[in-house]
């Protein structure tokens, strides 16, 4: 029997995307009672994130999904950055086995498949209440609990919990309700993301490419199986509406690859940001994932950052509710995670600026500098070198 909608939960979660679903799985596996509120009835059936790292794969293993992920992922083949002349100016190489954390350091995946596996793992658990098609419209808190007010569900109009966590994305209702504000790290660009199925996976190299071309910067990522992704920068003066037709999409895509074997799965124009919430906790309410931080995708760490948030906060809430630690343990969540993710956002932004340079003279100068650093052995060619260790919080206590 599912937890009653009238019960007081240990944790209420707004948002049932991959971060919210991972957080709910972890809390439920610890024996805590969890309510998950999601306005959509179904999983979004198109991919958004496409790359994960080994720390995140270990978190999914902790959720009981090791065998699923072994079958679902494709080993990341490394990335080459191509300069104005089409030659390599920088690259990220893949580590060889044995891997430091057991899993391949980076992998591609299909997001709807991951979300389905996370939800299936959680479904039917007696300590979990899932409220789909339900809109969070307000919340309040006192010294002992938070109450989340709901619309759209005929059976419940509020849930009460010891803690409330907003995993509700970049336009987070919870963050707006806390009114904590965002720090803008000055990255704001429009990019078109195209996911397509290929009839013949052997037609393209099994390698990621960053096309550092002032004429039209772009990215190529081979996904699992026959899935392929391109991310293409919109040029000055171009509006998203210009790329609303398949003809226009294929025309731009043709600047990077032949398209005769491709079937477009989805295409969308996104505004890539670099943003950090100024405060991740206010009383009994927390922010997590894109609600707390947003980064451009050039390091493949957007979703991984959110999963790290989930793992960091889940065990701490467990300890506090079990009486093993005081409530101030939860303050280390932002102390540890914010500098870490801030450093990752900074690195992703810097890579985005390298890839997206539109000035031909500056681009050629960039190529000379980066190629000299690469050939001289001064370039950080292992992606994990850009993911910092924790510097504060419990580790410093």
Q: What integer pLDDT is reported at residue 394 of this predicted model?
A: 87
The residues, ordered by sequence, that sit 6+ positions from 210 with a Cβ below 8 Å of its Cβ are 79, 80, 81, 82, 217, 218, 219, 298, 351, 354, 355
Beta bridge partners of 300: none
The pair of structure tokens assigned to 207 is: 């390698």
What CATH number corresponds to the domain at position 66? 3.50.50.60
Q: Is the pLDDT of residue 179 over 70?
A: yes
**Domain tally, the chain:** 1
Four-residue CA torsion sign, 299, 54, 20, 221: positive
Percentage of the chain beyond pLDDT 90 is 93
Structural domain boundaries, residue 160 = 8-73+105-183+274-351
Q: Is residue 162 part of a domain?
A: yes
pLDDT for 4 equals 61
Residue the block writes with tokens 């550092």: 212
Mean pLDDT of the chain: 95
Characterize the bridge pairing of strands 285-287 and 227-233: unpaired
- Cα 359 from chain centre: 30
Q: What pLDDT score does 397 carry?
A: 57
CA distance to 179, 186, 342, per residue, from 183 (Å)? 13, 9, 10
What pLDDT is recorded for position 3?
56
> Is 2's pLDDT higher than 80?
no
With respect to residue 82, please indicate whether it lies within any of the assigned structural domains: no
Assess if residue 374 is contained within a domain: no
Residues 315-329 have pLDDT tens digits of 999 999 999 999 999
- The span from the CA of 250 to the CA of 258, in Å, is 9
232 is a domain residue: no
Q: Which residue, chain included where needed, has tokens 């009981």?
A: 64
pLDDT, residue 155, reads 86
The reported pLDDT for the residue numbered 139 is 97
Query: Which is higher by pLDDT, 153 or 253?
Result: 253
Q: How confident is the model at residue 153 (pLDDT cuts 50, 70, 90)?
A: confident
**Residue 84, domain member (yes or no):** no
Name the pLDDT band for 298 (thresholds 50, 70, 90): very high
In this predicted structure, the answer to whether residue 20 has a pLDDT above a threshold of 60 is yes
Query: What is the arithmetic mean of pLDDT over 168-196?
Result: 96
Mean pLDDT for 47-57 is 96
Residue 329 DSSP label: G
Model pLDDT for residues 210-221, shown as the tens digit of each residue:
999 999 999 999
Q: 132 lies in a domain?
A: yes
Lowest mean pLDDT of 92-96, 222-226, 254-258, name the range: 92-96
Which residue's structure tokens are 């899935």? 227
Report the pLDDT value the prediction gives residue 6, as an integer from 0 to 100.
Answer: 61
Residue 1 has pLDDT above 50, yes or no: no
pLDDT value at residue 390: 87
Predicted confidence (pLDDT) at residue 230 exceeds the cutoff of 50: yes
Which residues, other chains included, contact 361 with Cβ-Cβ below 8 Å and sequence gap of 6+?
A: none
Q: Per the structure block, which two tokens stand in for 177? A: 């309700």
- Percent above pLDDT 70 for the chain: 98
- Residue of 19 and 382 predicted with greater confidence: 19
d(CA 255, CA 258): 8
User: What would the mean pLDDT of 118-130 be, rounded to a whole number?
Assistant: 94
Cα–Cα distance measured from residue 384 to residue 382, given in angstroms and rounded to the nearest whole number: 6
User: What pLDDT, on the 0 to 100 scale, is given for residue 39?
Assistant: 96
Residue 192 domain-assigned (yes or no): no
């Amino acid at each position: 029997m599912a937890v009653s909608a009238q019960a007081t939960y240990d944790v209420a979660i707004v948002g049932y995307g991959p971060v919210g679903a991972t957080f709910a799985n972890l809390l439920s596996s610890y024996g805590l009672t969890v309510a998950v509120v999601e306005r959509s009835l179904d999983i979004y059936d198109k991919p958004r994130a496409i790359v994960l790292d080994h720390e995140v794969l270990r978190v999914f293993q902790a959720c009981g999904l090791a065998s699923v992920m072994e079958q679902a992922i494709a080993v990341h083949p490394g990335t080459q950055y191509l300069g104005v002349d089409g030659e390599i100016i920088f690259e990220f190489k893949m580590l060889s086995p044995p891997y430091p954390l057991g899993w391949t350091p980076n992998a591609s995946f299909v997001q709807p498949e991951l979300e389905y596996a996370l939800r299936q793992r959680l479904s039917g658990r007696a300590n979990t209440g899932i409220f789909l098609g339900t809109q969070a419209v307000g919340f309040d808190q006192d010294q002992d609990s938070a109450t989340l007010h709901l619309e759209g569900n005929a059976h419940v109009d509020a849930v009460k919990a010891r803690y409330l966590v907003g995993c509700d994305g970049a336009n987070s209702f919870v963050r707006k309700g806390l009114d904590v504000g965002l720090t803008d790290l000055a990255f704001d660009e429009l990019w078109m993301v195209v996911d397509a199925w290929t009839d013949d996976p052997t037609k393209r190299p099994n390698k990621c490419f960053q096309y550092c071309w002032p004429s039209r910067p772009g990215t190529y990522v081979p996904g699992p199986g026959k899935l392929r992704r391109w991310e293409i920068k919109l040029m000055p003066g171009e509006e998203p509406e210009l790329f609303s037709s398949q003809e226009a999409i294929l025309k731009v895509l043709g600047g990077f690859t032949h398209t005769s074997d491709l079937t477009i799965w989805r295409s969308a124009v996104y505004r890539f940001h670099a943003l950090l919430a100024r405060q991740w906790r206010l009383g009994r309410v927390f922010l997590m994932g894109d609600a707390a931080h947003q980064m451009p995708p050039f390091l493949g760490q957007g979703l991984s950052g959110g999963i790290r948030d989930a793992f960091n906060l889940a065990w701490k809430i467990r300890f506090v509710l079990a009486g093993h630690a005081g409530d101030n343990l939860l303050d280390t969540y932002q102390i540890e995670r914010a500098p870490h993710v801030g450093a990752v956002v900074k690195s992703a932004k810097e890579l985005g600026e390298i890839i997206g340079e539109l000035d031909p003279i500056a681009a050629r100068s960039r190529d000379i500098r980066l190629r000299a650093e690469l050939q001289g052995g001064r370039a950080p060619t292992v992606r994990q070198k850009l993911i910092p260790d924790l510097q504060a919080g419990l580790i410093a206590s």
